[in-house]
Amino acid sequence: MNQLDALKRHTTVVADTGDFLQIAQYQPRDATTNPSLILKAALKPDYAPLVDEVLARHRDRPLDERVDRLLVRFGCEILRIVPGRVSTEVDARLSFDAAATVARARRLIALYEAEGVPRARVLIKIAATWEGIRAAELLERDGIHTNLTLLFSFCQAVACADAGVQLISPFVGRIYDWHKARAGAQWDEAAMAGPNDPGVQSVARIWRHYRHFGIRTEVMGASFRNTGQILALAGCDLLTISPELLARLAATPGDVPRALDEEEARRADLPQVHYRADDEAAFRLALNDDAMATEKLAEGIRLFCADAQRLDALIRSR
């Protein structure tokens, strides 16, 4: 047995890519995309005919609609391969506008449904800002399920649970990056690996909290830098993994023990915490108190916005 097959005994494996030609060999259940991944795929010669077809068919539509139609087309192609769901992201430039996020999410769902894809197979990805969480709360009430991304802190995870979102994507690798950069020459890679990795610890804490209190929101670890981080989260509800790391897992023989213990989580003595819709000030203070989360959330939104602008430019040029 290889590590990828062994991991699937404990965790739902998700492919983190827009490059749907790479997906089938790893047999993930779901797939996640974002503007950066779609841009990366759209620049490949293999996808030029698809991109040209979509843009030619809708050349008279506004730019933002053409972008959404391209995202949905990639999503539809992915859904021909995976049996589960695809995550499609709302433009990160709307991360602080709840109403605009809701409107864009509804359009994405309408475009999928026009292609015959039921909304149950789509997760709308939204940045886990206060405004994004409030938008997700409204969408979930309408039966549009959401994936809250760029999640770096416990308070974001709690607020998402209180909002009733379907799934969260806490980032592992970017948390690891921040702590490693902060430590500088004092960083001990071996000592901080596996369960001691700060990104792994963040996701494990969220997972234990959800399990302890019976929260239905799914936890999907994301943004991995190495397979050690992935294996240390075996047992997490889902893990979304890049094709490069999927290939490493598939090429490595061996068993994967379950790392997250449900019984231990249920028995743990954990405090009850809430950040509901009327707790905005408390949420913002808690997020502000977490320097890593504050910095990485802002940086993540900036990076996604930059790639959204590059995707706009690509579409204009075609």
pLDDT given at position 208: 98
Told to judge if 40 belongs to the known catalytic residues of this protein, a careful annotator would answer no
Cβ atoms of 68 and 111 within 8 Å: the answer is yes
Cβ atoms of 10 and 234 within 8 Å: the answer is yes
Mean pLDDT for each 10-residue chunk of the chain (318 residues)? 98 97 96 94 96 96 97 98 98 98 98 98 98 99 98 98 98 98 98 98 98 98 98 98 98 98 97 98 98 98 97 94
Token pair, residue 268, equals 């743990």
pLDDT given at position 226: 98
Domains and CATH numbers, the chain: 3-317 (3.20.20.70)
Strand partners, 93: none
Alpha-carbon Rg of the chain, whole angstroms?
A: 19
pLDDT given at position 35: 85
Catalytic residue of the set 44, 125, 180, 296: 125
Cβ atoms of 242 and 16 within 8 Å: the answer is yes
| Angle in degrees, CA 176, 242, 5, rounded to 5 | 105
Compute the distance between CA of residue 318 and CA of residue 66 in angstroms, rounded to an integer. 11
pLDDT given at position 225: 98
Compute the distance between CA of residue 159 and CA of residue 180 in angstroms, rounded to an integer. 27
Token pair, residue 207, equals 């997972």
